[in-house]
Structures are given as structure tokens and as C-alpha cells.
């Protein structure tokens, strides 16, 4: 082989082979070519080049100009392919660097960071270690990812392929949570203000504005709970992830939201941890005039909150109360707000988003600014630990999974919040009494319940089979019996306010 050609071919082959084996295969370039496509092309052209070199090795000194030109053309094509592979590698690195920081809370981010903890948990199970516990870090009470949708094994998350979207914004997500390094928080609560800013001619004294603050001291509180799980949960990563997510982390998030809305009433001698949105002194209110509907009051509350110079960000309503508002009708029977067919978009009222919160008390509302008007502090985000040593776990093949967080927070601008009662919204949230079955035959299923309630008969798996109304005396009847002989079902009563009774188990023609 010609001395000048042989090193060139070797260098090209080595460089191209390195590119063909080192890059991941998940991306495509601007022409839609994947790493697999480019690698295949590269191998084919290298094979052709090797064949040409072998055929001409014996007569390299006698190459014609055309043969030399063809060899140079092949070499240039390989260089171009190698360049494309290198550019794809560069693009992949740039894309990885450009990822949003929030992705650290995805399935991949959390599980990859906790790979060591996962292995320790499995070792605890395999070796039946009693004096061991393990912590899982990076699971937050805000923007919790749905770990329950994880694939067969956590290793699949190493390439960050099994990501899921974040939950939609909720009340807790609108608050700016700041880290904290001690256990006591002193909030500077704005109690009065007088803004005197104005245009001042040269040489004249500038006006003085005044802001009055009242300190509010809160102690960091611990929100915690635990559950027992079987050892199988430790051996099954998706199941463990589901327990952490749905049973524990969500429970803490729910309680955190409760304290943000309703505040914390400490026991005698205990410090206060949260000063909630609905607590007395933490909000203003608007009068309810004769003839006002819930829509009138909510509109008035919005503009009352805006007078604080902090624009209101949302309404906070109990979900059932929002349902009552959606079902408001005009004089001709049309719905004023709700659309029975649904739109699938965020609920809005008077230009502001409506945040549903089951911890908001029935027939109450809140409107205001959360990002500035409420200060939240987190001493320790959700920490989940697994232990085999607790109680009689060892004898019963059980494990204890505990989650806790440490946080505090309170309203700092009461004038930016408006809250009160919703007129025209039933405050009744008492569930009806358990229905009673009097007749259970093939021809009839009947009994008594709360007067006017809707009686629903469901199959064992929850599907609705039949429904009827209880009359003004509470009597109800369904003919013939919707439950076949020996089939197990359940009966519930639903009152006008949407409250549902406990389920009564019943067997067809018992």
C-alpha cells in the first residue's frame, strides 16, 4: 500500500470506528438520521474501502488517476460521516446541559439519586438485617412525580427514559418555599402601610412612606406518618415507589395544604407552626348584600384584594362548592358557567384560576396573592425511611415505611387576602345515614333512606347497576331486583348537597 495512503486509511477507520461505538442511539440529526442509520452507513463504506484496498494492495504503485480519485472520494465520505456522528454527540451533550432543573424531580432523577438506597433496602430484605434503616432523598411535597407509573425495574430510569409529567399546579405550588437552617421563623407581618411616593421638584424634601410590621414567631413543625408493608414491597421496586408516592408523600402534601389553608392550633404549651389563610386576622372580607349570589361575592372579593396593590392570583374553593357554582342556571334554564360537555381546561372565574382544595371548609372562599402574601419555609423536605426493626416486624416479615417533613409558614400581607362565606352554597356536608333494605327478592329491592336522597346500587367492582329516588317519607324501591341471586353489591344514598353515605353490602335475593 502506498505509504501516504495507508496511514490515512487507518486513521479514518480508527476515528470512524470510535465514533460508531461510543455514541448513544437515541437521537437524530437535522436530516432525520439516527445514530443507528449513520453507524450502518459507516460500516458499509468501511467494508467497501477495505475491499478496494485489498484489491489494489498488490498494484498500489500502479494506481491510475481515476482509481486514486475514487479512493479519495470514499475517504472523504467517511470523514463526512464521522463528522456527523461527532456533531450528534455534541448536540446530545448540549441538550443534556439545557434540561430544566425541575427535571431533578422526575422518576429518573429521584431513583438514580437513590440507587444506593434501593440496593441497601434490597440487601436488608435478603440478609434480614434488623439493625438497619435506609433513607430516600429528593422526594418533595411539591410537584410530586407519579412514581406509581414506573416500569418493571428502576434500572430503566438510568437513561432518563421513563419520565412523567408533573402534577398540575395546586395551592401548595403557588407558594414560594424558602430553605431554613434553624427551627424558629420570625415573620415580619405587614400590619399597616402609607405609600407617599410622588414627583418632587428639585431641592424640596421628599415625602416619607411608612410601613408598620408586627413580628410573628413560628416554630418549625414536623408533619409525619408511617405504614406497615410486607417484605415483598422492598423486593418490588415499583410497589415500593407506589407506597412512597401514594401512601406517604401525598399524605404529607395533603396535610401541608391543610395547615396552609386553615392554620395550626397548637395544644396547650406547644408552639404555633402555621398561620393559615383562613385564620382570623389573616384576611379582609367583603359584605354580602341582599340578593347576592356566590358569583357576586367572589367578584367583589377579587377587586377588594386588588386594592392592596398585590394582584390576586387565584380563588381557593372546596370542590363541592365549585360544583354548586358550575350548576347555577339562568331564568331560562341554561348554565351560567358550567358546560356539561366539559372543556378539559383549568377552571376560571372572573379572570382568575380556581384552585380546588378539599381542605377548604364548605361554603367558604379565599381570594388573594400567595406568592408574596404568604411565606413558607422548609427545614427538611419529605424524608422517607424504611426499617425492619420496628416492633414485631422481624417475626411477621414486615417493614415500617415512615415519611416526614419539617416546615412552617404564615400570612405576611393580610390586606392581600379576602375570605368569607359563600351565599347560596349549602354548607351541609353531613353524609346521609346508611340505607336500610326491607325487601330483597327477585321481584323487588326496596327499603328506606334519607328523604329525597338518590339511592345507587353498584356491583362489587363499583359499576353502577341501578338508581332511584327516596320519596318524601324516605321509602325507595327498584323493580325487579337489579342484583342477581347470590351476586354481591352495595347500596349508597346521596343527598342534595352531594354527600354520600357509607356503602351497605347486599347480596341479591338473600
**pLDDT mean over 304-315:** 90
Top mean pLDDT of 98-102, 162-166, 170-174, 378-382 is at: 378-382
Q: Is the pLDDT reported for residue 159 higher than 50?
A: no
The greatest distance separating any two alpha carbons of the chain, rounded to the nearest whole angstrom, comes to 112
Quick one: which of 80, 69, 92 has its CA closest to 15?
A: 80
User: Is the pLDDT assigned to residue 139 strictly greater than 90?
Assistant: no
- With residues binned 3-state (H G I as helix, E B as strand, rest as coil), the percentages for the chain, rounded to 5, are 35, 25, 40
> When comparing pLDDT for 457 and 216, which is higher?
457
Residue 332, CB-side half-sphere exposure with 13 Å CA sphere = 2
The listed range with the strongest mean pLDDT (46-60, 64-78, 377-391) is 377-391
Residue 386: how many other CB atoms lie within 10 Å: 25
The three cell numbers locating residue 279:
385564620
pTM of model > 0.75: no
The number of C-alpha atoms within 13 Å of 397 and in the hemisphere containing its C-beta is 6
The two beta strands, 374-387 and 348-349, are unpaired
- Burial zone of 187 (CB within 10 Å; 0-12 exposed, 13-18 middle, 19+ buried): buried
DSSP-derived pairing of the beta strands 488-494 and 475-478: unpaired
According to DSSP, the β-strands at 398-411 and 274-275 are: parallel
Torsion angle defined by CA atoms of residues 385, 388, 390 and 393, in that order, rounded to the nearest 10 degrees: 140
The pLDDT assigned to 463 comes to 81
The whole-number pLDDT of residue 151 equals 39
Q: Assign 104 a pLDDT band (cuts: 50, 70, 90).
A: very low
Distance, CA of 386 to CA of 381 (rounded, Å): 16
Q: Residue 220 — φ and ψ, nearest 5°?
A: -65, 130
Which of 215-229, 307-321, 355-369 is the least confident region? 215-229
Q: What is the mean pLDDT of residues 30-50?
A: 70
Task: Answer yes or no: is pLDDT of 277 > 90.
Answer: yes
What pLDDT, on a 0 to 100 scale, did the predictor assign at position 72?
79
* pLDDT confidence of residue 296: 93
Band of the pLDDT at 153, cuts 50, 70, 90? very low
What does the alpha-carbon distance between residue 287 and residue 292 come to, in Å, rounded to a whole number? 10
What pLDDT does residue 452 have?
85
Amino acid at each position: 500500500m502506498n505509504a501516504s495512503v495507508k496511514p490515512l486509511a487507518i486513521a479514518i477507520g480508527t476515528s470512524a470506528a470510535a465514533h460508531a461505538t461510543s455514541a448513544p442511539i437515541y437521537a437524530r440529526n437535522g436530516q432525520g438520521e439516527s445514530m443507528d442509520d449513520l453507524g450502518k452507513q459507516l460500516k458499509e463504506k468501511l467494508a467497501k474501502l477495505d475491499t478496494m484496498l485489498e484489491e489494489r494492495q498488490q498494484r498500489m504503485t500502479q494506481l491510475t488517476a481515476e482509481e486514486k480519485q475514487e479512493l479519495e472520494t470514499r475517504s472523504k465520505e467517511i470523514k463526512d460521516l464521522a463528522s456527523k456522528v461527532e456533531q450528534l454527540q455534541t448536540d446530545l451533550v448540549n441538550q443534556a446541559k439545557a434540561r430544566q432543573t425541575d427535571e431533578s424531580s422526575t422518576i429518573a432523577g429521584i431513583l438514580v439519586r437513590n440507587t444506593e438506597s434501593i440496593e441497601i433496602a434490597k440487601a436488608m430484605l435478603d440478609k434480614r438485617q434488623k439493625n438497619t434503616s435506609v433513607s430516600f432523598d429528593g422526594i418533595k411535597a411539591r410537584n410530586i412525580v407519579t412514581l406509581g407509573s414506573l416500569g418493571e425495574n428502576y434500572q430503566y430510569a438510568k437513561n432518563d427514559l421513563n419520565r412523567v409529567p408533573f402534577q398540575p399546579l395546586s395551592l401548595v405550588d403557588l407558594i414560594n418555599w424558602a430553605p431554613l437552617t434553624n427551627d424558629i421563623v420570625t415573620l415580619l407581618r405587614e400590619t399597616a402601610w402609607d405609600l407617599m411616593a410622588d414627583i418632587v421638584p428639585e431641592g424640596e424634601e421628599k415625602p416619607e412612606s411608612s410601613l408598620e410590621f408586627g413580628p410573628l414567631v413560628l416554630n418549625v413543625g414536623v408533619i409525619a406518618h408511617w405504614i406497615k408493608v410486607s417484605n415483598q414491597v422492598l423486593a418490588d421496586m415499583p410497589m415500593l415507589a407506589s407506597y412512597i408516592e401514594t401512601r406517604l408523600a401525598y399524605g404529607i402534601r395533603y396535610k401541608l395544604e391543610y395547615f396552609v389553608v386553615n392554620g395550626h392550633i397548637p395544644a396547650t404549651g406547644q408552639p404555633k407552626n402555621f398561620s393559615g389563610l383562613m385564620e382570623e386576622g389573616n384576611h379582609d372580607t367583603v359584605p354580602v348584600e341582599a340578593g347576592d349570589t356566590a358569583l357576586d361575592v367572589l367578584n367583589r372579593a377579587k377587586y377588594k384584594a386588588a386594592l392592596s396593590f398585590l394582584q390576586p392570583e387565584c380563588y381557593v374553593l372546596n370542590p363541592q362548592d365549585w360544583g354548586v357554582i358550575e350548576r347555577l342556571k339562568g331564568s331560562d334554564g341554561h348554565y351560567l358557567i358550567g358546560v356539561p360537555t366539559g372543556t378539559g381546561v383549568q377552571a376560571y372565574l372572573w379572570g382568575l384560576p380556581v384552585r380546588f382544595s378539599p381542605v377548604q371548609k364548605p361554603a367558604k372562599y379565599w381570594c388573594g396573592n400567595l406568592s408574596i402574601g404568604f411565606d413558607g419555609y422548609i427545614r427538611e423536605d419529605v424524608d422517607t425511611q424504611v426499617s425492619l426493626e420496628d416492633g414485631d416486624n422481624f417475626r411477621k416479615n414486615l417493614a415500617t415505611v415512615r415519611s416526614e417533613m419539617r416546615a412552617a409558614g404564615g400570612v405576611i400581607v393580610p390586606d392581600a387576602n379576602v375570605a368569607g362565606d359563600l351565599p347560596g352554597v349549602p354548607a351541609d356536608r353531613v353524609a346521609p345515614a346508611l340505607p336500610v333494605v326491607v325487601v330483597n327478592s327477585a321481584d323487588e329491592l326496596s327499603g328506606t333512606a334519607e328523604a329525597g336522597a338518590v339511592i345507587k346500587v353498584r356491583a362489587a367492582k363499583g359499576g353502577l347497576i341501578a338508581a332511584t329516588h327516596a320519596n318524601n317519607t324516605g321509602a325507595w324501591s327498584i323493580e325487579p331486583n337489579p342484583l342477581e341471586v347470590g351476586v354481591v353489591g352495595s347500596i349508597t344514598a346521596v343527598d342534595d348537597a352531594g354527600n354520600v353515605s357509607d356503602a351497605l353490602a347486599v347480596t341479591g335475593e338473600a
